[in-house]
Amino acid sequence: MAGGPGAYVFGEEEIREIQEVTDAKYLFRYGSLDNPSFKRKVFTFEEEFKKKMGADYCVATSSGTGSLMCCLSAIGIQPGDEVIVPGYTFIASISSIILMNAIPVLAEINDSLTIDPEDVRKKITDKTKAIMVVHMLGNQCNMDEIMKIAKEHNLYVIEDCCQACGASYKGKRLGTIGNIGAFSLNFFKTISTGDGGAVISNDYDMYERAFGFHDQGHKPNRTGVEVGKRSIVGMNMRMNELTGAVAIAQTRKLDEILTTLRTKKAKLKAMISGLNGFKFRTINDEANECATLLTLIFDTKELADAFCAEVNSKTICHSGWHVYNNMEQILNFDGGKRYHKNMLPQTDDILERAVNISVGVVDGGLGSAFGININSTDEEIEAVGNKIIEVVNKLTK
């Protein structure tokens, strides 16, 4: 089955939370506190999620894309502002910037498959407003360097945590290091409600603006239509009570999910360590990543392609998603910058040689259709490890 680890552990806990809502027959996130049918599932999720992440504030949203747009609104993005974003990311990171009438500036990745701080420095102009880091494939960006650059140039930092829910960097959960963080609860993410998202911040003003953008300009946790109190024009990106119910159960499983994934990845990685022909991607805080994928960076493109042919997979550059070269909507966009294929040669070189092995996220769109999942047994892990050993030894002998 394709999907993220949260989908694999969906069970009685989620069903009980959903049942409370369906029995009450009240699905809207707002309601009167004296109404026994109002179960406050979205509010409860926000409270539990912010506590889990170590943040002061949380807004539940309808998607990761919506979360990113809320973050951009929260920092006061204006038409023509530039936002530096990696060329290897899900399209929503880039399209959210365009939808807010700002300009995405594409930056290179390094062998962590996250944004390269050295290239970020090169892309800063007098129009740069923010850096949108993407903690790609569950791996943390080099946040020490990013925050140093942001401080030097007085820039905002938005953390796209959509693929890294629950990961930490040097003792802090992702999403709490920059100014504001965006999360996705999509079916292929660490925890899942099918679709859904969240925004976290420790800054009340940013929280208030993000909340307003997600709900027609209203102040947080309104009880009615607050005429005269709305300062921004917003959209409808609200989460409903059914989604909130699932989000509660999944959030309570997050730490166990991460522990299980890290254990299984460590077993698989130990089996294939020492083989020739590839290296593992750099993990910026290995003990605290999500461990949803094991990424091999082969010495050559030809070796990577040959490996994929043997295991019925694809290199990341050919996976169809997440790579700027495959985003015709972006390549055809003319909003103050010109975009074209092969404009990020360092990124292209890495992705041509990189192969994702699934550990928790089974997704052909990430190039991770081959591998294991969160429920895989030791025997299944061993079988995948032996297959990798067999193929790599065959190709490098």
Residues 124, 236 within the same domain: yes
Residues 183, 213 within the same domain: yes
Are the beta carbons of 303 and 276 closer than 8 angstroms?
Answer: no
What is the predicted pLDDT for the residue at 223?
A: 67
pLDDT, tens digit (0-9, with 9 covering 90-100), for 215-246:
999 988 776 666 677 778 999 999 999 999 99
What is the predicted pLDDT for the residue at 367?
A: 84
Residues 36, 72 within the same domain: yes
What is the predicted pLDDT for the residue at 34?
A: 87
Which of 188, 215, 250 finishes a domain?
250
Task: Report the C-alpha gap between 313 and 315 in whole angstroms.
Answer: 7
CATH code: domain of residue 184: 3.40.640.10
- State which residues of the chain have pLDDT below 70: 223-227, 336
**12-24 and 41-53 helices cross at what angle (nearest 10)?**
140
What is the predicted pLDDT for the residue at 364?
A: 87
What is the predicted pLDDT for the residue at 190?
A: 98
What is the predicted pLDDT for the residue at 231?
A: 79
Which of 250, 269, 291 finishes a domain?
250
CATH code: domain of residue 339: 3.90.1150.10
What is the predicted pLDDT for the residue at 368?
A: 86
What is the predicted pLDDT for the residue at 224?
A: 66
Residues 6+ apart with CB under 8 A from 334: none
| C-alpha closest to that of 84 among 157, 165, 1 | 157
Task: Report the C-alpha gap between 264 and 68 in whole angstroms.
Answer: 31
Whole domain around residue 17: which residue ranges? 5-250
Task: Report the C-alpha gap between 294 and 275 in whole angstroms.
Answer: 15
Are the beta carbons of 292 and 190 closer than 8 angstroms?
Answer: yes
What is the predicted pLDDT for the residue at 397?
A: 86
Which of 250, 279, 298 finishes a domain?
250
Are the beta carbons of 205 and 55 closer than 8 angstroms?
Answer: no
